């Protein structure tokens, strides 16, 4: 469990917009996929939610629930980029119900009705680990 001040700092950074965010997944056979996602939100100190289409990322997560969400903030040089690697495990997915409808509504507000119509599932992840984008032993707290 994260300390309250650390948790608040992580949530603020994770949920900051605009940002570049990718989700990396792998099938049960080890076939990897990486995709851009803008919908992930950290809702408490250990939980991330997001909405997905019926796509390769979702298929992989059904076979292998472990993934990495990477947040990137570009800078002038590669060594100045900021970001995090947030290691997660999918613990729930819903294709109907209150969580699903809430996720669709959030997508509609952020990206429009057409984007919301394409949502297939609302996912919930448990945060397993957090690492800096460029890890030289400084800890994630000192890399954002």
Where do the domains of the chain lie? 4-134
Fold of 4-134: Pnp Oxidase; Chain A (2.30.110)
Q: Which helix (H) or strand (E) covers residue 113, if one does?
A: helix 113-117
Cis? peptide before 18, omega within 30° of 0? yes
Is the whole-model pTM more than 0.95? Answer: no
Tokens 């969580």 found at = 99
DSSP 64-77: --EEEEEEEE--SS
At 80-134, the pLDDT tens digits run 788 899 999 999 999 999 999 999 998 999 888 999 999 999 999 999 999 988 8
């Amino acid at each position: 469990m994260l300390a309250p001040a650390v948790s608040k700092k992580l949530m603020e950074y994770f949920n900051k917009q605009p940002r570049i965010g990718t989700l990396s997944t792998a099938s049960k056979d080890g076939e990897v996929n990486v995709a851009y996602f803008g919908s992930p939100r950290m809702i408490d100190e250990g939980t991330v939610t997001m909405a997905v289409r019926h796509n390769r990322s979702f298929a992989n997560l059904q076979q292998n629930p472990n993934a990495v969400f990477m947040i990137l903030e570009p800078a002038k040089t590669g060594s100045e980029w900021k970001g995090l690697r947030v290691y997660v495990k999918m613990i729930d997915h819903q294709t109907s119900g209150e969580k699903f409808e809430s996720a669709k509504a959030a997508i509609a507000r952020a990206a429009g009705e057409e984007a919301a119509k394409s949502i297939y599932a609302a996912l919930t992840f448990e945060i397993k680990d957090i690492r800096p984008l460029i890890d030289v032993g400084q800890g994630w707290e000192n890399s954002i």
